[in-house]
Amino acid sequence: MNDTESRQLIVNNIAQYGCHVILIEESDYLPGFVYSIGLYEKFGQPEIICFGLPTNVAHSLINHACDLIKEGQTLQDNTLYSGFLEGYTIQLLPVDKDYYPHYVGYASWYYNNFDFPVQQLVWPDKQQLFPWEEGFNPDWKLKQPLLDRNTDFKFYEKRNLAVFTTREAFDGDPILYVYHDVDGDWQFHPSANPDLGNTMIVSLESIVKLDPSVNELFTLEYGQNAYRQTKDDEWVIEDAPEEE
C-alpha cells in the first residue's frame, strides 16, 4: 500500500476497534513484538508494546488492554494486572523515548513525531517472576528487552560479553566497521580490513563506553555489518557477503 492507503487503514481500524496493531515477527536474533497505534489519539492513553510472545497472543493482549481503556480504565505503570494471561499477572512499564526509533517508527510516522507515550506490557516466567527479578528464566532474557532502562547499553547480550576488536580502536582510531557474524560473535574495527595481528578480546560494555554511537547498532542481525566513512557519518547497514 502507499502512504495514503496505509494511513487510511490505520484511521479505519482506530475508528472501528479503538486502535491499529503492528505485528513484527521474530528473527533468528531479535524477538518479535506487537504494538498499538491509536490509543493515544483516541483515548489519550499510552500506546502499548509487547515482546517475545507469539504475535497472535501478543495481539490479543493489546486488544484486551484496548477493551479496558474503552471501558474507562487507565492502565498504570508498575501495577499487577490479571485477566491478560490465564493464571499469570502482567505489568506495564513506561518506555524511554530513546528506544522509540528502534521499535515504534511506524507510530511516529503516523503521528508525525515522537511526542506520544508508550507503555511496555511485561509478562512473567512460569514461576511468576518478572525479568528484573532474581531467578527469572535466563532462557527468556533475550525475548523481552526492558525499555524503561539501560539506554546507555541497549544490546541484548550481557555487558561482559567477549567481543573482538583491534588495538587501534583503543589507541584512538574511530570504530567505522561493525560485524555481527552468523554465530553471534561481534567485531568492532576501525576499518573493514583490520590488522588481525592486533586483535584484542574485550567486553562489549568497554566498546560501548569507548564509542557510545555503536550502541545504536544493537539490532544488527546475524550476518549483517554496519559501516561509515567517518565517526560523524550515519551508519550504513547491509548483509555481509557469505564469504566473510
Q: Are 160 and 109 in contact (CB under 8 A)?
A: no
C-alpha distance from residue 156 to each of 91, 127, 144, 221 (Å): 21, 22, 9, 12
Per-residue pLDDT of the chain (244 residues; tens, 9 = 90+): 678 999 999 999 999 999 999 999 999 999 999 999 999 999 999 999 999 999 999 999 999 999 999 999 999 999 999 999 999 999 999 999 999 999 999 999 999 999 999 999 999 999 999 999 999 999 898 899 999 999 999 999 999 999 999 999 999 999 999 999 999 999 999 999 988 889 999 999 999 999 999 999 999 999 999 999 999 999 999 997 765 4
Q: Are residues 139 and 176 in the same domain?
A: no
Scanning the structure block, which residue is given the C-alpha cell 560523524?
Answer: 232
Q: Are residues 121 and 50 in the same domain?
A: yes
Q: Would you state the pLDDT for residue 244?
A: 46
Q: Are residues 111 and 42 in the same domain?
A: yes
Q: Are 111 and 10 in contact (CB under 8 A)?
A: no
- Residue 92: burial class (beta carbons within 10 Å; 0-12, 13-18, 19+): buried
Final residue of a structural domain among 143, 178, 200: 143
One-letter-per-residue 3-state SS of the chain: CCHHHHHHHHHHHHHHHCCEEEEECCCCCCCCEEEEECHHHHHCCCEEEEECCCHHHHHHHHHHHHHHHHCCCCCCCCCCEEEEECCEEEEEEECCHHHHHHHCHHHHHHHCCCCCCEEEEECCCCCCCCCCCCCCCHHHHHHCCCCCCCCCCCCCCCCCCEEEEEHHHHCCCCCCEEEECCCCCEEEECCCCCCHHHEEEEEHHHHHHHCHHHHHHCCCCCCEEEECCCCCCCCEEEECCCCC
Final residue of a structural domain among 143, 177, 201: 143
Domain span holding position 199: 162-239
Q: Are residues 39 and 92 in the same domain?
A: yes
Whether residue 150 is contained in a domain is answered as no
The model's pTM? 0.92
Of 34, 56, 182, residue with least CA distance to 107: 34
Whether residue 155 is contained in a domain is answered as no
Neighbours of 44 (CB within 10 A): 11
Number of domains in the chain: 2
Q: Would you state the pLDDT for residue 242?
A: 64
